[in-house]
Amino acid sequence: MIPSIVITIAWVVVGVRSLLKLVNLFNGGTKNWLEVLFHLSVILIALSFIF
């Protein structure tokens, strides 16, 4: 069984990666709103597992 701290660290990595991707999408010229919503959803799901 994988320790819960490793799972929590993995969810933090997923959330941070999606947050960085979301920031990059907002800094770009045109916005693909489906991609923005997808990465926002991933961040919310990761946060719900962390807390």
Chain segment 12-30, per-residue pLDDT in tens:
999 999 999 999 988 887 7
Write the CA distances from 32 to 18, 20, 41, integer angstroms: 15, 15, 14
The pTM (predicted TM-score) of the whole model is: 0.79
Average pLDDT over residues 29-33: 81
Q: Which domain holds residue 23?
A: 4-50
Alpha-carbon span 29 to 22, nearest angstrom: 13
Average pLDDT over residues 21-41: 88
Q: What is the mean pLDDT of the chain?
A: 89
| Residue 6: CA count within 13 A, CB half-sphere | 3
Quote the number of domains for the chain. Answer: 1
Q: What per-residue confidence (pLDDT) applies to 2?
A: 74
Taking Cα atoms as reference points, which of 39, 2, 37 lies closest to residue 20?
39
